[in-house]
Structure 1
Amino acid sequence: MADYTGIFERVEQKYLLDSLQFEALWAVLEPYMRPDEYGRSTICNIYFDTPNHLLARLSGEKPVYKEKLRLRTYGVPKAESPSFVELKKKYQGIVYKRRIVMPYGEAYDWLVNGKAPKENSQIAKEIAWSLHYYGDLKSAMALCYDRVALYSREDSGLRITFDTNIRFREENTDLRQGDDGQLLLEPGETLMEIKAGGGLPTWLTDMLSRFRIYPASFSKYASAYNTHGTHIVHAS
């Protein structure tokens, strides 16, 4: 089932699959994994950055610590739709996420228009601190993709997601404008992410080895900028 936890930490690893690798892996996962209760979903995000794309550039430099601020919805939202304001941090390979839920319109007014939200939790204060620290964060990109999420039948901390049709736009970033954009991946490619609280089970590492699936350094947001040829950023 979907994870709506406000705070969590985990290891995340990405893999870029071609169509043959995806089909081979998908065919043997059923005994070990079960689908998310929502099945296939469309995830929409606004990524925030400074005018000179500082956060994207830092991601490309593979620092010990980096962070991203984004606003996420499931599907194209309306003002009253639930949304997630997420501060995602990565330190020495471990991902830490802080997120709060609020109506999309309120979250948009906070992050884009500077209107203080009703939320006054500790997580909201951390997000507000980041907004103050960077000073001039703006909505830099809308990025959407279609996702299928699987959860382990035995270990609730193990999750595998498959993202396709990753698309982005730098204009009209308000998600209420739709989920269209320029495609990021080549035809037939799928971005797989394995998310775990600890080490991977033997059956999974054996599958990855059998199908010659190897870790990839890949960030949707940074790679979208790199596609334009104006930013040298392509790390996870």
Structure 2
Amino acid sequence: MKSEQHSYIISRYEFKYILDSIEAERLQNYMEKIGLESDDYSNKGPYVVNSLYFDTPFLDDYYDKDASLLTRKKVRARIYGDNWSNNHSLIWLEIKNKRNFHIIKERLGISADDWESFISTFNPFLITRDNLTQKDKEFIDKFSHLYIKGRYRPHIIVKYRRAAFLDSFISKIRITFDSNISACFANEDFREDFMTPVHFGSTIMEAKFNDKLPWWFTKAVENFDLKRSDFSKYSRSVAMLRNSYKIPLSR
């Protein structure tokens, strides 16, 4: 994998469902039977998603979700691997804006050197590699202004195991199954010394699509009696860690 990736924007809808382990297994079997294929990341099996969430001193992004605001955002860095203390060749910076069920995610892949420059100074403007495109520069400007103006800092790490399926024939839709969700507060070297289970025993299924849901997914919702959820990994993880460590979060 390249150590740098140009920025791009994803615009789509996301529906979430909370499953137990039996429901998750049955639904994954269903996806395979109707011909869905594993995505590029999971063609060798489930993989680890590891996100470092940033927030303001007053945890504005957390409280926006807690207040069920229609429009909210998340600012994070993401790797695909077990531990932030390992040397990763590619780190994604992301801004995720959400309005109801519609999300717009902007991301840029940076090298380990650029990541070190940023995280050691908390200054995203230091990402200045030679091959930046105009869109890359626009993303860095947007990320930097948001980060500096809001005084964002690393807050928590959320890690989980993901299996993902694609349907690119009938309609463009991606189905992900996220399990073994755990979280910890971000310390200075981002070592996950102690991870707290989040929503233990549950799997979060997400349907990610651009236009309308295919008939087979609507049928699955009916057959499996699925109920849509507003579950947020970040929000639930903050609440879980707050309860575990008894740290008051107040504005």
TM range (shorter): 0.7 to 0.9
Once the two structures are superposed, residues 54-106 of structure 1 have per-residue CA deviations (whole angstroms, 9 ceiling, x without a partner) of 11011111223211100000103544510100000012431001110101342
Structure 1 residue 156, shift from structure 2 partner = 6.4
Q: Name the counterpart of 1:117.
A: 127
Structure 1 residues 196, 131: CA separation in 2 closer, same or farther (over 3 Å shift)?
same
The code of the aligned residue for 2:98 comes to: K
Tell me how far apart the structure 2 counterparts of residues 19 and 139 of structure 1 sit (CA, whole Å).
32
**Is the aligned partner of 1:206 residue 2:210?**
no
Indicate the RMSD between aligned Cα atoms, in angstroms.
2.4
Equivalent of residue 186 in structure 1, options 179, 183, 200: 200
Once the two structures are superposed, residues 84-136 of structure 1 have per-residue CA deviations (whole angstroms, 9 ceiling, x without a partner) of 000000124310011101013422531452242115611111111211331x2
The code of the aligned residue for 1:96 comes to: I
Q: Does the 8 Å CA contact 1:152/1:158 hold for their aligned counterparts?
A: yes
The code of the aligned residue for 1:203 comes to: W
The code of the aligned residue for 1:163 comes to: D
Equivalent of residue 75 in structure 2, options 69, 72, 75: 69
Q: Does the 8 Å CA contact 1:83/1:103 hold for their aligned counterparts?
A: yes
Q: What are the within-5 Å matches in structure 2 for residues 214-225 of structure 1?
A: 214-225=227-238
Structure 1 residue 225, shift from structure 2 partner = 1.4
Structure 1 residues 68, 23: CA separation in 2 closer, same or farther (over 3 Å shift)?
same
The SS at the match of 2:65 is helix
Q: Which has the larger radius of gyration?
A: 2
Q: Name the counterpart of 1:91.
A: 99
The code of the aligned residue for 2:41 comes to: Y
**Is the aligned partner of 1:129 residue 2:139?**
no
Structure 2 unaligned spans of 5+: 130-135
Tell me how far apart the structure 2 counterparts of residues 49 and 110 of structure 1 sit (CA, whole Å).
16
Structure 1 residues 100, 28: CA separation in 2 closer, same or farther (over 3 Å shift)?
same
Equivalent of residue 17 in structure 2, options 15, 18, 37: 15
Q: Does the 8 Å CA contact 2:15/2:101 hold for their aligned counterparts?
A: no
Tell me how far apart the structure 2 counterparts of residues 169 and 59 of structure 1 sit (CA, whole Å).
19
Q: Does the 8 Å CA contact 1:84/1:102 hold for their aligned counterparts?
A: yes
**Is the aligned partner of 1:172 residue 2:187?**
yes
* Equivalent pairs, count: 227
Q: Name the counterpart of 1:145.
A: 160
The SS at the match of 2:39 is strand
Tell me how far apart the structure 2 counterparts of residues 126 and 64 of structure 1 sit (CA, whole Å).
22
The code of the aligned residue for 1:167 comes to: S
**Is the aligned partner of 1:81 residue 2:89?**
yes
Structure 1 residues 143, 108: CA separation in 2 closer, same or farther (over 3 Å shift)?
farther
**Is the aligned partner of 1:53 residue 2:59?**
yes
Once the two structures are superposed, residues 195-223 of structure 1 have per-residue CA deviations (whole angstroms, 9 ceiling, x without a partner) of 00111111111111111111111101110
TM-score by length of 1: 0.87
Equivalent of residue 41 in structure 2, options 34, 38, 41: 38
The SS at the match of 1:118 is coil
The code of the aligned residue for 1:137 comes to: Y
